[in-house]
Structure 1
Amino acid sequence: MTQPIPMAEVWRSTFLESVHLGHAVICDDSGQIVRSWGDPNAVIFPRSSCKMVQALPLLTSGAAAKYGLDAQHLALACASHKGAAIHTDRVRAWLDHLGLGVDDFRCGPQVPEDRDAREALIRAYETPCQVHNNCSGKHAGFLTLSQHMGAGPDYVAMDHPVQQACLAAFEEVTGEASPGHGIDGCSAPNFVTSLTGLARAMAWFASASDRSDRQSMAAVELTNAMMRHPELVAGERRACTELMRAAGGKAAIKTGAEAVFVAILPEKRMGVALKIMDGTTRASECAIAAILVSLGVLDPDHPATRKFMTPLLHSRRGIECGHINPAEGFI
C-alpha cells in the first residue's frame, strides 16, 4: 500500500513542529483518476462528507416533491450545521410540516456549536435536544423519505428501507460495492468506500447536468442547493461555508468527521476527496483549500482561502507565534 504523504505543516517560530499526513484523489467525469496523493485505494469512512449521496433517495423517490421541499431543505439535508437559529428553526418547521416532533429523530442531542444558541440554552436553563444535532437536517430528510415510504420509525436501522435506499445510491455513485459500514456519530450507518470511490462519486455529482436520468437530476438539485445556501450547510466561520462563498458557485464543498473533505466542481466536471490520517481538521481544511487553489477554483489571496490554507497561530495574548501551510511538495 502506498503510504500517506505530508499534506500540512505546523510551524512555530522558524521550526517545524508538526506534520499531518494524508491521502487525496481527484477524479474526472469518466470516473478516472486525474491526480492522486498517497494511496488512492485507501479505505475510509466518508462520515458526513457523503450526506449529498445519502440525500439522493429523498429526491429520486418523489418524497421531496410530495412534501414541497425547496433548496433550503435540500441544503440542510446535506448539512453538518452549527445548531444556530437559522438551522434549528428551519428543521423544527420541517418536522412540523411532516406532522412529526423532535422525539421522532434518532440522531441524539448535541450541544450547539453556535455560541448564541448555546448561551440561549444556558440562560433559559434548557438542555440541548436532537434538533441541535449537527445532522438534524439529514435526519429530517430520512424521516421525510421514511414517511413517504410508509416505513417504520427506526429509520437508522441497517435493514430499514431508508438505509437500504441510501446504500444502493452510495454503491451506484461510488462505482464500488461497499465492504461494510460503521455507526456514525448521529447513529446512522456510514458506508465504507475507497478514497477513489468517494472522489468518483463527487465527479459523478459534478457532471450530473450532462445527464437526464432521475438520479442525476437529483444530484444537480442537491449540488445547487449547497452552493446557493452555504450558510445552511455549515455556518458562519466554518470552512465549508466560507470556502463555498469564496469559490463563487464553482464548488460544493463538504467536510466529514475525522478530517475528511470532498469537493464537487461542476465547471470542471471533477470531484475531489481527501483524508488526513490523524483526523485533524486544521490539516484537512488546509489541504482541501490547497487543492482547490491548484485547480483554479479558489483565489489564493481571498481572505477565506488564506484563513484555512495558511492560517496564522497566536498565543492566548494575541501574539503571532506560528503558522500552518501546505506541506512542501504537496501541491
Structure 2
Amino acid sequence: MAGAVPLVEIWRGPFLESVHAGHAVVCNAGGEIVEAWGDPEAVVLPRSSSKMLQALPLIESGAADAVGLTREQLALACASHNGAAIHSERVTAWLADLGFSDADFCCGPQEPRDLEARDELIREGKPVCRYHNNCSGKHSGFLTLTKHLKAGPEYVALDHPVQKAVKAAFEEVTEEDSPGYGVDGCSAPNFAATMHGMARAMAFFAAANPDGDRRQAAAVRLREAMAAYPELVAGEGRACTELMRAMDHKVAVKTGAEGYFVAIIPEKKLGIAVKIADGASRGAECITAALLVRHGALDPAHPVARKYIDGTIKNWDGLVTGRMRPVEGVLPPL
C-alpha cells in the first residue's frame, strides 16, 4: 500500500522478524490532523470500523425511537460480535419485535466465533444461522430502518433507501465524496474514504454534543452505547471489548476487517483511524492501543495496555519467544 510506514514490530529473541506497515491519523474536533503516520490521503475501505456511521440514519430518521431501541441494541447496531448467547439472543428478540425472522437478513450464516456457542450448535445438531453473523446487529438496525421507511426487503442494494441514507451520512461526516465502495463480508456496501476522512469522522463523534443538532445527538447516543456495552460490540477476549473496559467505558473503539481500527476519545475530542497495510489485526490493535496511551486515554500500566503494546509471543510449550510492540517514537519508554 503506497505511502505506508512501519508502525509495529515483531521481535523473536534479538531479531526483528516482521514489521507491520500502515497509516494512522489523529484528528481534532475541527477535523484538522493533529499527527499522522503514512499517508493521510490514502483511500481505504474502513470495513466494520464504519458501523457507527452506518447506524446514524437509524437514529436520525426516528426509526430507533419509533420502536424504542435500547442502548444495548444501539451497541449491537455497531457491533462485530462473537455470536455468543448474549449476542444471538438479543438479535433474535430484536427480530421478533420487528415481526421479522432470520430469513429476512441479507447477511449470510456464519459460524459463531464464540467457542461455547459453536460447540453447542454442534452437540445439538443445530444449523448455523444468519443471526450468528458478526454483523447481525448492524443488519437488525438496517431492518429497523427499512420497516420505518416502508421500503423493500433488499436493503443492502446500493439504490435502496437504507443504503442511500447510509452513503449520505458517511459522506457528510467524513466531509468527502466517497470514490466508491466494496461489498462487505455481510453483503452490505462498504464505502471508501481517506484515512483523514475517517479520523475526521471519529473526531466528529468525539466532539458531538448531546444538546446539539439531530446528528450530534445521534452520534453521542451511539458512542455512549458502544462504551457502555463493550461486551456487545465484540465479545470476551476481543481487543474492542478489553480496551473499552480498560478505559472505564469513556472511549469507544471499533475494529474493522483487514487491519482497520478506529477510536473515539470524547474527553480529548480526538478521533483516530488506523490501517495496517498487510491486513493484520494484531498490528492494528497494537498501534491503536499505543495511540490511546499516547493521547492519555489508556493507562500504560494497565494489564490490557501491556497486552497490546508490549505483547509477549509464546510457543506451544508456553515459552516466551518474542514480543510485539509499536515502532520507536510512538510511545515513551514504558
Is the TM-score greater than 0.5? Answer: yes
Alpha-carbon contact 1:27-1:34 (below 8 Å) kept: yes
State the one-letter code of the partner of 1:182: G
Alpha-carbon contact 1:9-1:19 (below 8 Å) kept: yes
**CA deviation profile, 1:56-105 (whole Å, cap 9, x unmatched):** 00000000001110100000000000000000000000000000000000
Q: Does 1:53 align with 2:30?
A: no
1:328 Cα shift?
1.9
CA distance in structure 1 between the aligned counterparts of 2:213 and 2:156, rounded to whole angstroms: 27
**CA deviation profile, 1:97-134 (whole Å, cap 9, x unmatched):** 00000000001011111010000011011221100000
1:265-284 map, 5 Å: 265-284=265-284
CA distance in structure 1 between the aligned counterparts of 2:163 and 2:307, rounded to whole angstroms: 37
Alignment correspondent of 1:17: 17
- SS at structure 2 position matched to 1:209: coil
CA distance in structure 2 between the aligned counterparts of 1:328 and 1:127, rounded to whole angstroms: 48
1:330 Cα shift?
3.7
Q: CA RMSD in A?
A: 1.1
Alignment correspondent of 1:260: 260
- SS at structure 2 position matched to 1:10: strand
Q: Does 1:144 align with 2:144?
A: yes
Determine what percentage of the aligned residue pairs are the same residue. 59
Relative to the length of structure 2, the TM-score reads: 0.97
The ranges of structure 1 where at least 4 consecutive aligned residues each deviate by more than 6 angstroms after the TM superposition are none
Alignment correspondent of 1:93: 93
Q: Does 1:126 align with 2:126?
A: yes
Alignment correspondent of 1:170: 170
State the one-letter code of the partner of 1:240: C
State the one-letter code of the partner of 1:225: A
Alpha-carbon contact 2:7-2:327 (below 8 Å) kept: yes
CA distance in structure 2 between the aligned counterparts of 1:267 and 1:250, rounded to whole angstroms: 8
State the one-letter code of the partner of 1:242: E
CA distance in structure 2 between the aligned counterparts of 1:156 and 1:310, rounded to whole angstroms: 40
1:211 Cα shift?
5.6
Alignment correspondent of 1:329: 329
State the one-letter code of the partner of 1:233: V
1:250 Cα shift?
2.8
CA distance in structure 1 between the aligned counterparts of 2:210 and 2:316, rounded to whole angstroms: 51
Q: Does 1:226 align with 2:222?
A: no
Alignment correspondent of 1:158: 158
List alignment gaps of at least 5 residues for structure 1. Answer: none
Return 309-318 or 19-28, whichever deviates more. Answer: 309-318
CA distance in structure 1 between the aligned counterparts of 2:309 and 2:77, rounded to whole angstroms: 27
CA distance in structure 2 between the aligned counterparts of 1:192 and 1:321, rounded to whole angstroms: 38
State the one-letter code of the partner of 1:23: H
1:210 Cα shift?
6.8
Alpha-carbon contact 1:71-1:225 (below 8 Å) kept: yes
Relative to the length of structure 1, the TM-score reads: 0.98
Alpha-carbon contact 1:107-1:187 (below 8 Å) kept: yes
**CA deviation profile, 1:262-317 (whole Å, cap 9, x unmatched):** 00111111100010000001110000000000001001111111112211111111
- SS at structure 2 position matched to 1:167: helix
Alignment correspondent of 1:308: 308
CA distance in structure 2 between the aligned counterparts of 1:264 and 1:26, rounded to whole angstroms: 10
Alpha-carbon contact 1:4-1:21 (below 8 Å) kept: yes
Alpha-carbon contact 1:261-1:288 (below 8 Å) kept: yes
State the one-letter code of the partner of 2:326: P
1:13 Cα shift?
1.2
1:156-235 map, 5 Å: 156-209=156-209, 212-235=212-235
Alpha-carbon contact 2:210-2:217 (below 8 Å) kept: no
1:138 Cα shift?
0.1
Alignment correspondent of 2:74: 74
Alpha-carbon contact 2:309-2:325 (below 8 Å) kept: yes
- SS at structure 2 position matched to 1:53: helix
**CA deviation profile, 1:216-256 (whole Å, cap 9, x unmatched):** 10000000000110100000110000000111133100010
State the one-letter code of the partner of 1:40: P
Q: Specify whether residues 211 and 6 from structure 1 end up closer, same or farther in structure 2 by C-alpha distance, changes over 3 A only.
A: farther
How many aligned positions are there? 331
State the one-letter code of the partner of 1:37: W
CA distance in structure 2 between the aligned counterparts of 1:79 and 1:219, rounded to whole angstroms: 15
CA distance in structure 1 between the aligned counterparts of 2:145 and 2:218, rounded to whole angstroms: 14
Alpha-carbon contact 2:53-2:170 (below 8 Å) kept: yes
CA distance in structure 2 between the aligned counterparts of 1:42 and 1:151, rounded to whole angstroms: 35
Alpha-carbon contact 2:44-2:192 (below 8 Å) kept: yes
Alpha-carbon contact 2:291-2:330 (below 8 Å) kept: no
Alpha-carbon contact 1:6-1:330 (below 8 Å) kept: no
CA distance in structure 1 between the aligned counterparts of 2:199 and 2:210, rounded to whole angstroms: 18
